[in-house]
Amino acid sequence: MGTLGCCLLLALALLVPPEAASRKCDLQGLWRNELGSNMTILAMNTAGTFSGSYHTAVAATNKQILVSPLQGVQQHPSAKRHPAFGFIVQWQFSDSTTAFVGQCFVDHRGKEKLETMWLLREEVLSHKDAWKATRIGSSIFTRIK
Ligand code: BTN
C-alpha cells in the first residue's frame, strides 16, 4: 500500500470513533423502513416492555391510513448490545394485525439498524380462506431521530 493509501486509512480510522461498532442499541426514537413507513418507539421500562406508534406508508386495504399503536418487548433490556425484540401493531383502519420480530445492530460507523421480519394477519370471513390470510416479509429500519 502506498503512502496515500496509508493516509486515507489513518484518516478513516480517526473519523470513526473506536467504540462505534460496540455501541449499545437503543430502540427508543423515530425509525423509517425501506417502504417509507415511520415508527416511533417510546421509552422502555425496566422489564423491557415498550409502546409507540406506527405510520405505515402502504396498506393492503383501500381505507385511509391512520397512525396505529404498537406494543413491544425487548429481551434483556439492560444487558444486551444487540437486543432481540418483538412488537405488534394494532391497525386502526383495518381488521389486520402485524407482528414484527427483529434485532438491533450497530454498524462500524455506529449507525443502528433494526432488522426485522413480520407477519401480517388479516381477518378472513370464512375458515376456508385462512390459507390466504397471512403475509410475511422482512424490513430494515434506520433511525431518523
Ligand atoms: C393493512 O394493510 O391491513 C394494515 C397495514 C399493513 C402495513 C404493512 S405491515 C408490514 C409492511 N411494512 C410496513 O411498513 N407496512 C406494511
- What are the sequence ranges of the domains in the chain? 29-143
Which residue ranges have their beta carbon within 6 Å of ligand 1? Answer: 33, 35, 37, 56, 58-61, 91, 94, 96, 98, 118, 120, 137, 139
- CATH superfamily for domain 29-143: Avidin-like (2.40.128.30)
Distance CA 85, CA 24 (A): 14
pLDDT tens digits for 88-125? 999 999 999 999 999 999 998 999 999 999 999 999 99
Candidate from 34, 35, 53, 58 with most ligand 1 atoms within 8 A of CB, to mutate = 58
DSSP-assigned letter for residue 45: -
pLDDT in tens, 122-131: 999 999 999 9
Distance 22 CA to ligand 1 centre (A): 32
Question: Considering only CA atoms, which residue is closest to atom 13 of ligand 1?
Answer: 56
- Closest by CA to 34, choosing from 116, 105, 101, 107, is 116
Torsion of CA 67, 35, 22, 25, to 10 degrees: 10
pLDDT at position 1: 56
Q: What is the pTM of this model?
A: 0.86
pLDDT digits (tens, 9 = 90+) for 58-67: 999 999 999 9
Distance CA 92, CA 29 (A): 21
